[in-house]
Chains A and B, each alone.
Chain A
Amino acid sequence: MAEVLVLAELDPAGGGVRKTTLEALTAARALGEPSAVVLGAPGTAAGVKDALAEYGAAKVYVAESDDVEGYLVAPKAEVLAQLVADKSPAAVIIPSSPEGKEIAGRLAIKTGSGFLTDVTEIAADGTATQVAFAGATIVHSQVTVGTPIYTLRGNSVTAEPAPAAAAEEPVSVSVSDAAKLATVTDRVVEQKSSRPELTEASIVVSGGRGVASAENFAIIEGLADSLGAAVGASRAAVDSGFYPHSFQVGQTGKTVSPQLYVAVGISGAIQHRAGMQTSKTIVAINKDPEAPIFELADFGVVGDLNTVVPAATEQITARK
């Protein structure tokens, strides 16, 4: 059976592999037998092998070196290119993140291949589904040159266990000087949050301009916490200084695709839709009955978010 390389995306806080990796392993099974690739500092693979085995990795290529994390993007692309040359895989799948997409791009140049980013589905013949133009257009694409490289958008594929051997195979890492040009000198965490990561969360509660102030975002956070959800914000809310940019959903921010998306005080400009339109279920709470967000909503409440949201939070908490 053809081998498919899956690059493991690791939790930067040391919490093992991200869910996106398990989703990529699941998607890879449509094309062949997945082999996971773990790139990181020495000792990285030990903590993630079990999860990779559970989700179908027949092999785990382990490339551990401080150089892999010490320089931006280029070393990872270099190690992957070496593996592509050695193993001639049927495809390479990388979880879609800013870094993942950049690795895919550099790998494409190195291996003389085409690549497709932010795919939501990969069929057995290699045809990928992508969502374009603020979610309004669904596109089917194929790589026509070299080894197909895909980046898989988070929450698009449901991770399903399929236990496999996860036979470990060490890969010797020698990062070239050309890949050591951009040095990562520090990694700074400014906002520590106990909430799930936006792009991985199964529920997202977002606030918009209607929330009206930074202080009032507490009611968005309250609803989010009652649902175990991530918090998002529209660009209008971010530009108004209500919430930090790293939580922005939509164009120039994050694209999310959760099971449930709750848009509170968000009118639903096309730029916001770009980031949330593919959510499975959408709820909108807005005082303006004509707000375009209601066109997308499976369930809408026309009302004042300042009364509806706290009351709902209280009821949800009471049900637990």
Chain B
Amino acid sequence: MNIVVLVKQVPDSGSERKLDPADNTVARAAADNVINEMDEYAIEEALLVRDREGGEVTVLTVGPDSATDAIRKALSMGADKAVHVVDEAIHGSCAVQTSAVIAAALQQLEYDLVLCGAEATDAQLSVMPALLAERLNIPQLSGARKLTIEGGMAKIERQTDGGYWAVEAPLPAIVSTWDTINEPRYPSFKGIMAAKKKPVETKSLADLGLDAGSVGLANATSKVLDFAGRPPKGEGVKVTDEGDGAQKFVDFLASQKIV
């Protein structure tokens, strides 16, 4: 089984993240860039499926040169090889354009199963599986907390409020995973060493047969006009409980006409 895992490098969600005032795109240069946390669950799931069904796991990323760190992480967990789409012209692309780039890259690969994280922690759109399914005319099995592959079919439990939907589709399909699906492994020392020798193929837009004029900030389908920091909250009231904490809390709720 040929499995492709989509990974994205994002600014670390645990540190301060900013937009770049020069062009209103994510300020990546100043950020601590890491692999999108949710993608680690997709990688783990890909490895589990490969280990059951046989086959190969290919990592696919679209991003600047520095995104090789995210690729290395995936390879050190155990993925077999990688494709890195890197092209200056992609900078500032919207989700619609990015999906066209990923779809073009996927079309040059053989795949039975495409896996990705259910959301990226930077933009939090959670739409890439839907966009790719639409472009590639393959089934969308998004938001999985469980995945089984059986007789050419992929079956998921799609996480919902208070339960799940059972959804199934024939392969090839795209599946996105939540952090409830598994426990991602830590790369072993051996894995880290082995990752250095695994093949990483770099592709440009031209390699994918795409025109630079179809992507990038200037041609995006939406644009950020301006941005600002959230205005700081006024100083709140803080009381220390000396037996009257509950009373003061309820008094506050009453002052807000909540009780």
Q: A interface vs B, CB < 8 Å? A: 12, 72-74, 77, 98, 101-106, 108-110, 113-118, 127, 131-146, 178, 181-193, 197-198, 203, 227, 245-246, 251-252, 259-260, 269-271, 274, 277, 281-283, 285, 289, 294-304, 307-309, 311-312, 314-316, 319
Contact = CB atoms under 8 A, between A and B. Distances in A.
Contacts of B95: 105, 115
B227 A140 contact: yes
Contacts, number: 268
A294 B234 CA distance: 12
A72 B167 contact: yes
B30 to A, nearest CB: 13
A73 B162 contact: no
Given A137-B228, A142-B222, A182 B167 contact: yes
B148 to A, nearest CB: 13
A274 B163 CA distance: 23
Contacts of A189: 162-163
Given A203-B258, A252-B38, A312-B249, A109 B237 contact: no
Given A190-B163, A227-B258, A252-B178, A301 B224 contact: no
Interface in B116-166: 119, 121-127, 129-131, 133-135, 137-143, 158-166
A299 B237 contact: yes
B89 to A, nearest CB: 18
Interface in B1-27: 13-19, 24
Given A136-B17, A246-B161, A316 B225 contact: no
Nearest to A317: B259
A274 B13 contact: yes
A135 B230 contact: yes
A312 B223 contact: no
Contacts of B17: 133-134, 136-137
Interface string B227-259: 111100110111111000111111011101011
Given A144-B223, A303-B241, 11 more contacts: A77-B130, A104-B127, A105-B125, A137-B18, A144-B221, A181-B170, A182-B140, A252-B119, A289-B240, A300-B238, A301-B238
B135 A246 contact: no
Contacts of A190: 162-164
A189 B126 CA distance: 23
Contacts of A303: 240-241, 245
A255 B37 CA distance: 18
A275 to B, nearest CB: 10
**Chain B at the A interface: SS class:** mixed
Interface string B82-114: 000000000000111001000000000000000
A308 B245 contact: yes
Given A245-B180, A296-B233, A72 B13 contact: no
Given A136-B230, A270-B13, A118 B124 contact: yes
Interface of B: 13-19, 24, 37-38, 94-96, 99, 119, 121-127, 129-131, 133-135, 137-143, 158-170, 173, 178-180, 220-230, 233-234, 236-241, 245-250, 252-254, 256, 258-259
A109 B95 CA distance: 10
A116 B253 contact: no
**Chain A at the B interface: SS class:** mixed
Contact of A178 (B137, B159, B162, B248): B137
Contacts of A298: 233-234, 236-237
Contacts of B226: 139-140
Contact of B18 (A118, A133, A252): A133
A195 to B, nearest CB: 10
A319 B96 contact: no
A132 B25 CA distance: 12
B223 to A, nearest CB: 5
Contact of A181 (B138, B160, B227, B247): B138
A181 B127 contact: no
Contacts of B165: 72, 184, 186-188
A208 B109 CA distance: 44
B221 A227 contact: no
Contacts of A105: 95, 125, 127, 130-131, 134
A98 B143 contact: yes
A283 B134 contact: no
Contacts of A251: 13, 121, 124
Given A142-B223, A190-B164, A281-B256, A301 B247 contact: no
Contact of B130 (A73, A127, A136, A183): A73
A298 B237 CA distance: 6
Given A183-B169, A252-B38, A315-B250, A72 B222 contact: no
A101 B124 CA distance: 11
Contacts of B166: 184-188
A301 B241 contact: yes
23 contacts: A72-B139, A102-B129, A102-B130, A103-B130, A106-B133, A115-B95, A131-B230, A136-B17, A137-B19, A137-B227, A140-B225, A145-B221, A181-B133, A181-B138, A181-B169, A188-B163, A245-B180, A252-B121, A270-B13, A277-B230, A300-B238, A301-B246, A308-B246
